[in-house]
Amino acid sequence: MSRVYNFSAGPAVLPESVLKEAAEEMLDYRGTGMSVMEMSHRSKAFDDIIKEAEKDIRELMGIPDNYKVLFLQGGASLMFSMVPLNLKKNGVADYIITGQWAKKAYKEAGRFIKANAVASSEDKTFTYIPDCSDLPISEDADYVYICENNTIYGTKYKTLPNTKGKTLVADVSSCFLSEPIDVSKYGIVYGGVQKNVGPAGVVIAIIREDLIPEEDLEGVPTMLQFKTQADAGSLYNTPPCYGIYICGKVFKWLKAQGGLEAIKKKNEEKAKILYDFLDQSELFKGTVVKEDRSLMNVPFVTGDKDLDAKFVAEAKEAGLENLKGHRTVGGMRASIYNAMPKEGVEKLVEFMKEFEAKNK
Ligand SMILES: *Cc1c(COP(=O)(O)O)cnc(C)c1O
């Protein structure tokens, strides 16, 4: 067996120890005589799994007691509708457009409420984060929405926008658990886990309790109401059991790494190796303004389409997989999530050096 260095943007690399543990428990989960895939979501064994997972993520992120942690389905994309449907009071919200995911969320919200784009970096292909210190926030905005790390473009907010007292909602799919955050600054923090936390099929939504409607929302499907999911402790119906189980293992792994402060340090070290190389390279160029660079997704180009394609193909042969940039951007993108070992980034840079020497 040989594993490659997988730079996929998502679904993405998971810690090897987590996969091994899951493999060991596959046929007989801790004496139950069955796999987690085969057991009732109402069983004691699964109850322990989901409760332990919630406890661990609360500890890792320091989630205050007045926030619910929900394990949901439907991908990050379903949250694009769940957020406006549940937070709608005045029926107005402000969106900051920093990439395709923010734009999709904005467009989806527009189906249910009046969504305003109050800032955008589309003028420069989303290569920067707009100045969000004094935005024209709507007086009656129910919330302000951001995509905190832009998976496709490789930008990240280094400071949160000034929402002028309005509730902040953030999609953190591609920077989830990559560094500590102050949850109390957000009304909702949510992410699809398949980027940095677990297998596809689970969305974790951390929601301040006062934002969960107390009454049934007329016209809103039962499954899409935060209240339904919160009241049932994410077990209104069958949740994505196996995915939650793997997320739980990743939380344990993160704790064993020393928690989010320690993980942030590692992520900074890894990203520095790649960015430092890009900054002095004569062939490769990072596409994002320095101040807004993501620690997780690193897009770069040679400036020559054919050479980009050659690079991706040759990298694959060298065991460096999924380096092709998003189809809307081109070039390359290395996603270096929590589970990407430092050696993977070092190997990549080594390979880039060799490629540069041969193709100057
Ligand atoms: C991948 C991604 C999404 C979409 O996730 P799905 O789970 O496929 O709906 C949304 N937002 C961000 C930031 C992403 O990276």
Domains and CATH numbers, the chain: 17-256 (3.40.640.10), 259-358 (3.90.1150.10)
Q: Is 185 a catalytic residue?
A: no
Ligand 1 center to 31 CA (angstroms): 36
Q: Burial-class residue 280 by CB neighbours within 10 Å (0-12, 13-18, 19+).
A: exposed
What's the pLDDT tens digit per position in 186-195? Answer: 999 999 999 9
pLDDT at 121 over 90: yes
pLDDT at 1 over 80: no
Contact (CB, 8 A) for 140 and 93: no
Q: Is 101 a catalytic residue?
A: yes
Alpha helices in the chain (DSSP H): 16-24, 44-61, 75-87, 100-109, 226-231, 241-256, 259-280, 305-317, 342-359
Catalytic option among 68, 156, 166, 195:
195
Catalytic option among 68, 101, 156, 324:
101
pLDDT at 360: 82
Residue nearest to ligand 1 atom 7, measured at CA: 75
Residue nearest to ligand 1 atom 14, measured at CA: 173
Band the pLDDT of 2: cuts 50, 70, 90. Answer: confident
Contact (CB, 8 A) for 308 and 302: yes
Helix (H, G, I), strand (E, B) or coil at 62: coil
Ligand 1 center to 152 CA (angstroms): 10
pLDDT at 234 over 90: yes
pTM, 2 dp? 0.98
228 labeled part of a ligand binding site: no
pLDDT at 327: 83
What's the pLDDT tens digit per position in 293-352? Answer: 999 999 999 999 999 999 999 999 999 999 999 988 899 999 999 999 999 999 999 999
Q: Is 171 a catalytic residue?
A: yes
